[in-house]
Amino acid sequence: MNDESLLRYSRHIMLDAIDIAGQERLLAGHALVIGAGGLGSPVALYLAAAGVGRLTLADADRVDLTNLQRQIAHGEADVGRNKAESAAAAVQRLNPHCEVRPLGHHLEGEALDAAVAEADVVLDCTDRFASRYAINRACLAAGRPLVSGAAIRFSGQLAVFDPRRADSPCYACLYPPEAGEEEELRCAESGVAGPLVGVIGTFQALEAVKLLSGAGHVHQGLSTFDGLRGEWRRFNIARDPACPDCGGR
């Protein structure tokens, strides 16, 4: 790091858990953020501000006026623009030293597998169960840690799945595919409190910073947040030996 970087990231370097070595790992790190909306906006901005060296942002959707109540990487001038490109521009304004690559198409199949394999950590910021299961399988195949977030109405949740750990469950252990199909029908018709996605998205970014820098202990289990009550709850998640995605690992 040069003098400018030492000054820019000095508040990280002052932390014993990160220090210079951890900040250098962040600068060398590569995060794949799938979804550049409500969750992906704070994730991308905080990872860029934290000094993550490379960000890949994937989203096929375009910015809509209804998004602006919560998707803070976008503004009115971005309405109609691809979300990955809009978020990438916001990242560059925040930290021009961050190398950001927008992917303005839906990641699936071999393209998803390749993007996951190139990254050091994957952050699932999508709102579709089909995408979440596909991302989960790609992370299992590539051995990449997955930071999964979700937010709806006034409720949010976060879980970290790390296939590098033999005892780690996966997303399908938590939500069997048949349960996800039923839930998705309800989510499509629901609203969401704007700041809630910021709470969960910044939690995702924090876990990614820890994974990349080596700081602290990575989150275990499932954390849920009730925004109306301001209450967090944490649940242990056991790996399901009959899981269709990871049961045979």
Which of 95, 89, 114, 126 is CA-nearest to residue 26? 95
Q: What is the pLDDT of residue 185?
A: 42
Q: Is residue 244 part of a domain?
A: no
3-state secondary structure at position 233: strand
Q: What is the pLDDT of residue 126?
A: 95
> How confident is the model over 109-129, as pLDDT tens digits?
999 999 999 999 999 999 888
Mean pLDDT rounded to a whole number for the chain: 93
Q: Catalytic: 246? A: no
Q: How many domains does the chain have?
A: 1
Residue with structure tokens 């809509």? 64
Q: Is the pLDDT of residue 179 over 70?
A: no
Q: Which domain holds residue 29?
A: 3-235
Q: What is the pLDDT of residue 202?
A: 98
Q: Is the pLDDT of residue 198 over 60?
A: yes
Q: Is the pLDDT of residue 95 over 90?
A: yes
Q: Is the pLDDT of residue 144 over 90?
A: yes
Q: Is residue 248 part of a domain?
A: no
**Percentage of residues of the chain with pLDDT beyond 70:** 94
Instruction: Determine which one of 170, 187, 243, 246 is catalytic.
Output: 187
Q: Is residue 241 part of a domain?
A: no
CATH number, domain of 43, equals: 3.40.50.720
Name which of 74-78, 99-103, 187-191 the model is least confident about.
Answer: 187-191
Output b/e per residue, 25-51; b: 16+ Cβ within 10 A.
bbbebbbbbbbbbbbbbbbbbbbbebb
Instruction: Categorize the per-residue pLDDT at 190 as very low, low, confident or very high, splitting at 50, 70 and 90.
Output: confident
Instruction: Categorize the per-residue pLDDT at 186 as very low, low, confident or very high, splitting at 50, 70 and 90.
Output: very low
∠ at Cα 224 (220, 226), nearest 5°?
A: 155
What span, in angstroms and rounded, lies between the C-alpha atoms of 198 and 39?
7
Residue with structure tokens 């949010």? 156
Q: What backbone phi and psi angles, to 5 degrees, belong to 184?
A: -60, -35
Q: Is the pLDDT of residue 57 over 50?
A: yes
∠ at Cα 56 (170, 162), nearest 5°?
A: 20
Q: What is the pLDDT of residue 170?
A: 95
Q: Is the pLDDT of residue 229 over 80?
A: yes
Instruction: Categorize the per-residue pLDDT at 199 as very low, low, confident or very high, splitting at 50, 70 and 90.
Output: very high
Q: Is residue 245 part of a domain?
A: no
Q: Is the pLDDT of residue 182 over 60?
A: no
Q: What is the pLDDT of residue 184?
A: 52
Q: Is residue 224 part of a domain?
A: yes
